[in-house]
Structure 1
């Protein structure tokens, strides 16, 4: 009977490891970049795990109950065996260790009662077992070779359920309803996330990676500083066998379909895209092997990249021809010092230099004229991580890591000294088209930033009977060396707007009689070095409560310390306690059916951009003038126009930065609470057959707090006076700042304002004080149900299908606003004053009610494979933003539009109506089909592979973003550009990849 049961458990466990591979992984007991093997055998048996490719051998003794565990194993193929008294306990088994997972293997014990026995051979990844309480998707290099997935990390992340593209110009991806600025990205345990604006990450070519793990929820306490998702990658390593290869990727320009030009209702072309071209050639060369057999190994690669895209401006009057020809290099060096001590170095450089030659351009004749400018853009940097793994005792293991992540961002041009940037909206152009280009530069900003993250962490695992304790510490110093100003004389950026005489503009000034437009001349300058220090302790207990039930309870304690240019702390938050609780129940005791769930709290740090703009002596000076016609000039044989400045309108506005660092006690809430999110997940997974499986899960997320800039215009004790100014704080909560306690106009003590009720002074048109108004509290919830069906790869075919139905509601998307295209993280308009977000509750920009994803591969013959990746998603909501509100005439995006008496200078006379989120329907569904065909020809000692992939095969060009400004000034007319399409699916393109591996 026992032999029959053991066989049944082995078969079911093997099938579960194969068939559920796409559903997600068990708890990441691996400090980011490796995996584990655990199970049961005979009590006191000697258990040996060996990696035949590297000779790495680890030996431990099973506990009194027969349990054993090998943590911190580098990913790869292993053999595992047990013996007692010199005799084998069951057969030797093959097992695959996958990224961030624990594979359970019982070794021949007749009374074994552990979780599902998995006997895995080949390269199948056993990424699900019944110890899992996490939602994650593992994608291997082998799977990506079969699928038509574009060669970037974002495309890999989008394979996971619940992950969608951002719909703003600044791109990014959204996990589970979070904004694009809330995610984290790791390579070999090194955090490579952009900490300046949290929009992006350092990235290596596909050929550098071995596996990816996309975490969409429920991740363990070793991960933090994110309220979105985690993409965790591990790089390739060398072995005892000398290997090498060459891979060439081609994307010729004529393999790209043309994008469409777009015209407004009057036939005016407002987006010119049909002349844009992309072209890419990449040659990747890699080699790996032993430096000292069984001891020291190296993997190294170099990729030469030639990218030559070209693009026109929206008007079609300039064409920029770009050239990027910078090589990437990367390496890993692994040293098996002893069987109990391993040292690994991972390093790569993603530095890139792009030169953009800017030419005058005649759209009608497709004539390229004189070169008018050169724009230089430098990005990327060097990255490395040094990791020491040590088995201290049979039950205690340690991993220490130190590393460095660099990101440069430097944009400058030949015309930075001589040319101001000039921009105009469509309404202005309709009445004042100069007939020549505006300004003489396509580069608005002279911008340089060097971000450097210095990271160190220590992770430990300690087995105590049925308890597995995991604990550790990680620390980061995130430093931004920053300078920025606008190009041209005076460092001014000119914006041109249409506005009727007598209308009020954003600084409170009134357009004078005889003028129908105005100019905003803006200076924006800042420089300095700014650091944020993040640290965390964590501890977690994974308790095998019964043979079929695993409980885990963990807690993470985060601290964030944002500093000004002088190194003084000005936003400091500690004791951010993040509990995580989870369970996994092997319902039948054979690994075929699992119920799991978890509860967790996650904290989000304040981006470095806030250090710079709040505590860096920011000069943000805006001066408004009546538009007095054009001044025509010529440079490099090209005529251009700059605005003539008429009478100044209103006062100079430097309320958002006057160039000095003020008393930060008056600018930051003394008792500010962090931003955090609570999450609950309940899931079920079941094996149908040895190849088929399915699963369902429900997720609920709730975001608490926001940290944003608010203009506190009144303190409670001064009857409407006691102006404080712009403050970083929690909207809708009590704010304590250094302010005017004696109503003398001078800050002299601590003032507390309950911003849910007060903080904004209200006056009528005659200047009579009407009282105070407070802010609405930020809200964001995400609720989703996910279904998955999976068919495991068996050298013939594989398939994964998922459907996600979700609801993303609230009044705050997060630290960025994609519906108004605002990516200045943590300084959104949402809470500038109480009226901006009044009535702003509804479906948020990342709400995609329905998402269908399907990917798969079919082997026609041993040499030919077909692959497909399908993504269909419903569109996000469309809001009609207005200007002003029934209570105040401030010129912001608001959820009100003026419908009567809108030209009245007296705000009380105007009549408004609500314009709630999503009132104007939704964007259309998007459907993307990527298809590919591969030819594989093995030869002695190697393999030749060719893959032809076509992305967006059906050339779908649905709209992904529209202009949501219903009113652009306080008038009772709808903007001519409201709902005008601004973003679209990328046109079809073809990619040919040829590789030889030997």
Structure 2
């Protein structure tokens, strides 16, 4: 038998830098190593054994190359390995060092030339962060904890995701944890930690998180992901936590953000000097002391990683009027840990757990804006968020070609809020210009009294089976999501008072007509709901990764989803099954050397119904609104401080409980029997090329199309019974809706009633109230088209750089399950389709449309001990719309609309009013915004200890441009709002963060 030696000069060991056997990535929480052994003459090397070893844990795994010399080593924990090749009768040769990254395949081709025996040749591979990965058909970004440490990136998962192309932050109240991927709304993403889904299933906007020091690597998937992932039409954040090794390591890290290192927010006033948005008193101080340790409990077998973080966070802020001051603090610790039991080289058990529970306590005071100091204390507010999370997993290499991963875990999130004055103080809000000068509205800033606990129980089983040139991946994924919920407004009667300007003759939401002489009205609202609500999501998937040739990989997959939402009694009321999501992709290594790749992906993705729908649709929601004429203010006193409450006059119109009367009715009448899920189709075509071992560039074209929506609709007519009320229905707007209703027009529900809402379902009347026919709803539309360009230079110990530019167009008449342009965060219950006129004429550029986006990040080691880094996120502004409240039909409730009354607006005869179309984006765009971050890091070795001191500055140039404006042009028919186009949010001002760490 002929022996071979490894040829040093020809060796290529880089992340995707060279093509071996084209093979896909491994399970989402592991990585793999693939490649081919090739002789000088081009013959494949068989009968060889390839071994990877992790020196830190003693783990090793060996596979035999096939007849073509190809090999694949799956299910490798993220880390650094050595790779060896041995031929029967020869000495193993160490190829070099290989880095395995999260969810990716590392390609290592080994050219060999013949000598009498394999020599002990060692070649160290260059560490390339982001090169051409010819094994991948999706679009993703991988960053290690070390990569992040070199950059000014704030310590949260959202900040990591924001580094990826095509990702923008949410607007308004949706911006805190809200992230928009590829034109989607902020309520369409999924976040995983060690395979555990930690996405907030209540409204799908937030997620559980942990300090950076708890993570090993991050992966951000912006599109084209495999059938292993589902329940998202946005993007995926996938994070892996740290593990221990044979060597004991420990460290301490202190993070400090003092208020003195923060620039003040600018204050904003109206033209007459009335406070509008006061922010100069808004400050925070962060102190976090993180202690961690890792090592082996049993050498080569049982490893641990543990972390405990002491927190002392403080915040203060005023309300927009500058007459209420809140001062809060929390000192709840974070804890987290992981155990890894390496039973042998083929079987591994892991247990991960952490708690991100956070309790805040706020003292509420009055505030003297002229003096800039708080006055008497009026209230205390307490909030609770986060919870305990854990996941247990098993990874097994059952045979050389068959592997399995099983996972079971639980995710918990609290979201509670209460205050000391909940029994005696109502919440009061008034439109600008109506509030009394210098007197706070109401005696509480607590918007709701709420107690919510969300518990997710998740299990999944995944297999990989190598059959020649086919790698089959299949599995099952199941979740049970339970929300325990109780919510109501504070104060006597549990009323929330809103005071609005109006004009006589205007029609209010309850159909009442504003009487003569009334220029403002009060809405007294009660909103109460409670119970325990469950939803279950299940999926099965099958995927074939077929290496058609040495240079061409086809990825063919199918995922079958089931969503089942239940009411407070545990009965299914929204159940959608047999949702088939086909996906296909290809990766073509054009020259066969791994330096140039053409790839593409097409697929369908489904979005589950958020639990908030269970609660409000099937939980006996009481949403009662009573309207009164506004008769001025009563000035009262509590704890020595004055406050104002509205004085109500005559009631205007009837009490409106159409959104919920406090009972759980016949859900067959409230939910479409044949409702289809929300789903999106996506097409991606891309090209990548490696210029040299460090530089690569790529271009990617993306097209996304949302095909459906689920929302509440007010159906007031049918083909069978004319203008007979059907009711509020959760359904697919613009499609056929089937509910239990009145089929023979006798006023009694007696059978299944079908309404084609594309052309009927909403009654129309003339000026005298005579029924004149029906209209239907526009179908929901959302299209996203983008071109992404990216240039990357991998870290080589001295410097690294990444630059991306995205040209994007996001159009449609539906942003998604939430509306950020009107700041409507009630997921799945927006006002978009309440009646047909809300969305009539509403096609245009959507709220998350950003035409241009430029992102830069880089780091440079000035000396061995001194490093600098920088990030830049520059993007054009989103569209501005002027929303009206009426429409040419003249006989609907005044919701947001795309029509403005311009003549005869006070006429009591609706047909005499003249309207103009006010299209989406009709008032231009928000300004460009720029976020520049910078950091400098000094590090020094003291024996085996490593000291690092890092100073990061965010928003270095202190940009405070407006991020959103008031887009409600009308607040009553014909009445232009005084605050139209006034800014409602701004960029966060500059702040600095000091991090000092000592590790061993």
The TM-score by the shorter chain falls in which range?
Answer: over 0.9
State the shift of 1:724 in Å: 1.3
Q: Which residue of 2 aligns with 1:213?
A: 219
1:886-937 Cα offsets, whole Å, 9 max, x none, are: 0134201100000111001221111101000001000000011101111011
Structure 1 residue corresponding to 2:536, chosen from 515, 529, 533: 533
Q: Which residue of 2 aligns with 1:177?
A: 183
1:159 pairs with 2:163? yes
SS in 2 for 1:254: helix
Unaligned runs of 5+ in 1: 21-25, 112-117
For the 8 Å contact 2:415–2:451, the answer to whether it is kept is yes
Q: Which residue of 2 aligns with 1:364?
A: 370
Alignment of 1:454-473 (within 5 A): 454-473=457-476
State the shift of 1:366 in Å: 1.6
Alpha-carbon separation, structure 2, partners of 1:184 and 1:324: 28
For the 8 Å contact 1:90–1:107, the answer to whether it is kept is no
Alpha-carbon separation, structure 2, partners of 1:212 and 1:370: 47
Structure 2 residue corresponding to 1:509, chosen from 486, 509, 512: 512
For the 8 Å contact 1:530–1:567, the answer to whether it is kept is yes
Q: Which residue of 2 aligns with 1:114?
A: none
SS in 2 for 1:316: coil
Q: Which residue of 1 aligns with 2:27?
A: 31
Alpha-carbon separation, structure 2, partners of 1:269 and 1:881: 24
SS in 1 for 2:653: strand
For the 8 Å contact 1:103–1:127, the answer to whether it is kept is no
1:137 pairs with 2:141? yes
Q: Which residue of 1 aligns with 2:711?
A: 708
1:437 pairs with 2:407? no
Structure 1 residue corresponding to 2:73, chosen from 70, 73, 87: 70
TM-aligned CA distance change 1:309 to 1:119, over 3 Å = farther
Alpha-carbon separation, structure 1, partners of 2:497 and 2:694: 63
Q: Which residue of 2 aligns with 1:877?
A: 879
Alpha-carbon separation, structure 1, partners of 2:976 and 2:212: 47
Q: Which residue of 2 aligns with 1:825?
A: 827
TM-aligned CA distance change 1:347 to 1:128, over 3 Å = farther
1:316 pairs with 2:318? no
1:938 pairs with 2:941? yes
Q: Which residue of 1 aligns with 2:11?
A: 10
For the 8 Å contact 1:91–1:108, the answer to whether it is kept is no
Alpha-carbon separation, structure 1, partners of 2:571 and 2:278: 48
Q: Which residue of 1 aligns with 2:905?
A: 902
State the shift of 1:631 in Å: 2.2
Task: Point out the more displaced range, 359-368 or 703-712.
Answer: 359-368
For the 8 Å contact 1:423–1:496, the answer to whether it is kept is yes
Q: Which residue of 1 aligns with 2:760?
A: 758
Structure 1 residue corresponding to 2:256, chosen from 240, 250, 274: 250
State the shift of 1:8 in Å: 7.4
Structure 2 residue corresponding to 1:727, chosen from 726, 729, 733: 729
State the shift of 1:15 in Å: 8.0
1:105 pairs with 2:108? yes
SS in 2 for 1:612: helix
TM-aligned CA distance change 1:818 to 1:5, over 3 Å = farther
1:661-698 Cα offsets, whole Å, 9 max, x none, are: 01111111111111111111111111112222111110
1:956 pairs with 2:952? no
TM-align CA RMSD: 1.9
For the 8 Å contact 2:483–2:533, the answer to whether it is kept is yes
Structure 2 residue corresponding to 1:774, chosen from 770, 773, 776: 776
Q: Which residue of 2 aligns with 1:269?
A: 275
SS in 1 for 2:225: coil
State the shift of 1:434 in Å: 5.8
Structure 2 residue corresponding to 1:401, chosen from 386, 407, 431: 407
TM-score, length-normalised on structure 2? 0.96
Alignment of 1:576-975 (within 5 A): 576-721=579-724, 723-889=725-891, 890-971=893-974, 973-975=975-977
Task: Point out the more displaced range, 630-639 or 28-37.
Answer: 28-37
Structure 1 residue corresponding to 2:58, chosen from 55, 60, 65: 55
SS in 2 for 1:782: strand
Alpha-carbon separation, structure 1, partners of 2:300 and 2:968: 64
State the shift of 1:110 in Å: 6.3
State the shift of 1:621 in Å: 0.4
State the shift of 1:121 in Å: 3.8
Alpha-carbon separation, structure 2, partners of 1:329 and 1:205: 10
TM-aligned CA distance change 1:403 to 1:623, over 3 Å = same
Q: Which residue of 1 aligns with 2:230?
A: 224
Q: Which residue of 2 aligns with 1:977?
A: 979
TM-aligned CA distance change 1:67 to 1:15, over 3 Å = closer
TM-aligned CA distance change 1:742 to 1:45, over 3 Å = same
State the shift of 1:9 in Å: 6.1
Q: Which residue of 2 aligns with 1:203?
A: 209
Alpha-carbon separation, structure 1, partners of 2:700 and 2:512: 55
1:160-181 Cα offsets, whole Å, 9 max, x none, are: 0000111222211100000000
Alpha-carbon separation, structure 1, partners of 2:833 and 2:16: 49
For the 8 Å contact 1:812–1:830, the answer to whether it is kept is yes
State the shift of 1:37 in Å: 1.1
TM-aligned CA distance change 1:201 to 1:243, over 3 Å = same
For the 8 Å contact 1:902–1:970, the answer to whether it is kept is yes
For the 8 Å contact 2:24–2:135, the answer to whether it is kept is no
1:633-674 Cα offsets, whole Å, 9 max, x none, are: 211011112122211110000000000001111111111111
State the shift of 1:263 in Å: 1.5
Q: Which residue of 2 aligns with 1:549?
A: 552
Q: Which residue of 1 aligns with 2:298?
A: 292
SS in 1 for 2:146: helix
For the 8 Å contact 1:81–1:88, the answer to whether it is kept is no
Across the two proteins, how many residue pairs are aligned to each other? 979
Alpha-carbon separation, structure 1, partners of 2:389 and 2:132: 31
State the shift of 1:136 in Å: 0.4
1:94 pairs with 2:97? yes
Alpha-carbon separation, structure 1, partners of 2:201 and 2:905: 43
State the shift of 1:340 in Å: 1.2
TM-aligned CA distance change 1:32 to 1:14, over 3 Å = closer
TM-aligned CA distance change 1:28 to 1:394, over 3 Å = closer
1:795-832 Cα offsets, whole Å, 9 max, x none, are: 11111001000000000000000000001000011100
For the 8 Å contact 2:132–2:596, the answer to whether it is kept is no
Structure 2 residue corresponding to 1:575, chosen from 575, 578, 594: 578
Alpha-carbon separation, structure 1, partners of 2:181 and 2:308: 32
State the shift of 1:513 in Å: 3.2
1:480 pairs with 2:483? yes
Alpha-carbon separation, structure 2, partners of 1:660 and 1:182: 30
State the shift of 1:125 in Å: 4.3
For the 8 Å contact 1:446–1:486, the answer to whether it is kept is yes
1:168 pairs with 2:187? no
Alpha-carbon separation, structure 2, partners of 1:86 and 1:758: 81
TM-aligned CA distance change 1:92 to 1:691, over 3 Å = closer
SS in 1 for 2:701: strand
TM-aligned CA distance change 1:265 to 1:288, over 3 Å = same
For the 8 Å contact 1:103–1:126, the answer to whether it is kept is no
Alignment of 1:340-355 (within 5 A): 340-355=346-361
TM-score, length-normalised on structure 1? 0.96
For the 8 Å contact 1:883–1:969, the answer to whether it is kept is yes
Alpha-carbon separation, structure 2, partners of 1:128 and 1:222: 22
